[in-house]
Amino acid sequence: MSRRNCWICKICRAESKRPPSNLTLEEVLQWAQSFEKLMTTKYGPVIYAAYLKMEHSDENIKFWMECETYKKIASRWSRISRARKLYKIYIQPESPREINIDSLTREAIIKNIQEPTRTCFEEAQRIVYMHMERDSYPRFLKSEMYQKLLKTIQSKNNS
């Protein structure tokens, strides 16, 4: 099975040639209305992440999603540990999945990493969101992946 034709279901971690059965035409059409709608639907972020992985540019969505999880951490010790991990993976220059942020934002994170707050990655997360919205989101909507998904769901609804 070609990886390009697979739908990756994050929930079951299985691959199939069909999109998730409870993915609706309404949801898929919402994705084209705005990037915000894509990111707030059930399957939008998962399908978008699969697209970015195919494009070899999924570090932004992964960072964004990890920041969403990070903001919910209540324990100070867990937050410190997770902040350091996020820094090593995404922020540190030459890191494995380095995101594209300006030096002022990077410096502010380095300064705040000693006693990280829930918001210490907020500016970097905002920048990454903006990059995705302006760059990869328009490509996603034009992609073969999105167009095929739309046609598949529409034909399923018409039958």
Residue 10 has a pLDDT of 42
86 pLDDT more than 50? yes
Q: Are residues 63 and 119 in the same domain?
A: yes
**Please, are residues 90 and 59 in contact by the beta-carbon 8 Å criterion?**
yes
> In 10 A of CB 94, how many CB atoms?
5
Residue 20 has a pLDDT of 76
Number of domains present in the structure of the chain? 2
Nearest to 19 by CA among 34, 35, 6, 32: 6
Task: List pLDDT tens digits, range 32-74.
Answer: 999 999 999 999 999 999 999 999 989 999 999 999 999 999 9
Q: Are residues 98 and 81 in the same domain?
A: yes
Percent of the chain whose pLDDT exceeds 70: 87
**Please, are residues 20 and 10 in contact by the beta-carbon 8 Å criterion?**
no
Over residues 121-138, the mean pLDDT reads 97
**Please, are residues 19 and 153 in contact by the beta-carbon 8 Å criterion?**
yes
Residue 90 has a pLDDT of 98
CA atoms of 140 and 51, how far apart (whole Å)? 7
> Amino acid identity of 17?
K
- Residue ranges making up the domain that contains 126: 59-132
CA atoms of 20 and 11, how far apart (whole Å)? 10
Over residues 13-40, the mean pLDDT reads 83
| 2 domain residue, yes or no | no
Q: Are residues 40 and 89 in the same domain?
A: no
What pairs with residue 14 in β-bridges?
A: 9
| 33 domain residue, yes or no | yes
| 12 domain residue, yes or no | no
More confident position, 8 or 142:
142
- Strands in the chain per DSSP E: 7-9, 14-16
CATH code at 51?
Answer: 1.10.196.10
Least confident of 26-35, 111-120, 149-158: 149-158
This prediction has a pTM of 0.83
